[in-house]
Amino acid sequence: MSNVDVDELAKFSELANSWWDRNGEFKSLHDINPLRVDLIEQQSGGLFDKRILDVGCGGGILSEALAQRGGVVTGLDMAKASLDVANLHRLESGIKVDYVLSTAEDWALENAGQYDIVACLEMLEHVPNPASVVKACATLVKPGGVVVFSTINRNVKSYVMAIAAAEYLFNMVPKGTHEHSKFIKPSELVSMIEKTSLHVDMMTGLHFNPLTQGYYFSDSNVDVNYFIVCKN
């Protein structure tokens, strides 16, 4: 069986037309995107002319931003509706990104060691077997390359912040986007990473300031959203 949750696939397919509405269902992704791109660029020593794979690219928000900074970007996703939107937006923006309908595991079978950078952001909590994706990302990156993961911690605070508040109180993301049981503790993700050729280089938390309505990185805690940067 492919490492795909059909319910998750249907959920994101239904929302596909909202990917590029900056005030719509994916507003929070647009808001954090500059931070995500900056982190990847800084941790990779620049993006220009580097081969980059965006695993779980959705409508292409991250993919286009990485390509704008000089990356040679391929975006992978299993939601055809999202890729259709990504391809349409690519035509409108003129930003070159290659989009592929594939899982990371299947893509790794023919593209091992082909990428300088692999980004897998806000995706692991939406698949049945996240460890399988982590292993595929390790296979896809070149020796000396960088892999960046982001996901959500599993605890009471993350339920309150990422589900109760973000989905139901402030409508920051669509209701039903997340399932708390699928959130991944940092120790669990690190354990998955340690079973591959990757090693953890840094970990940081992504935080929201309700007063400024802005996001920022801080390693003060990784209680809710967090990023892990790995080197191969």
| Binding site residue list | 36, 56, 77, 121
DSSP-derived letter for residue 183 is: -
Q: How many CB atoms lie within 10 A of CB 175?
A: 11
Tokens found for residue 99: 């989009």
Are the CB atoms for 16 and 81 separated by under 8 Å? yes
Are the CB atoms for 74 and 100 separated by under 8 Å? yes
Q: How far is CA 7 from the centre of its chain?
A: 18
Bridge partners, 152 (sequence order) = 225
**Sequence-ordered list of residues with C-beta below 8 angstroms from that of 87, at least 6 positions apart, any chain:** 99
| Binding site residue list for S-adenosyl-L-methionine | 36, 56, 77, 121
Nearest to 121 by CA among 45, 225, 199, 19: 225
Q: How far is CA 75 from the centre of its chain?
A: 11
Nearest to 76 by CA among 16, 15, 121: 121
